[in-house]
Amino acid sequence: MTSYSDSLRKGTRSRKVKDLPPDDRPREKLKKLGVRALSNLELLAVILGKGTKGKGVFQLAADVLVMAERNFENIEYSTLTGIVGMGPARSSRRTY
């Protein structure tokens, strides 16, 4: 099995959703092909919804996945809020 950090090196995380062809965008892919067709990165990008001013949703999702890969069982609110772009609102929705 490929680790998240290995799969993230492929360059997807630096792309913007709007720059992808319509059929490759995570929400459209989810609607057309179902959840099993999405990578973990794409699924988390859909859940997060959008990035921040300085960080696209793929980069934000990648940061969360890398952190989760290191210490999944101990993900807490304070851990998520330590990721730039994961403020209190997003972090609280993801830990309960």
Amino acid at 90: R
Q: What integer pLDDT is reported at residue 39 of this predicted model?
A: 93
How far is residue 59 from each of residues 33, 53, 65, 71, measured CA to CA in Å?
23, 12, 10, 19
Question: What's the domain count of the chain?
Answer: 1
Domain that holds residue 89: 4-95
Q: What integer pLDDT is reported at residue 16 of this predicted model?
A: 83
Nearest residue to 43 (alpha-carbon basis) of 27, 24, 32: 27
Q: What integer pLDDT is reported at residue 54 of this predicted model?
A: 84
Q: What integer pLDDT is reported at residue 43 of this predicted model?
A: 92
d(CA 91, CA 26): 21
pLDDT string in tens for the chain (96-residue length): 444 444 454 555 557 888 889 888 999 999 999 999 999 999 999 988 888 888 899 999 998 898 888 877 778 788 887 777 787 777 776 544
Q: What integer pLDDT is reported at residue 2 of this predicted model?
A: 47
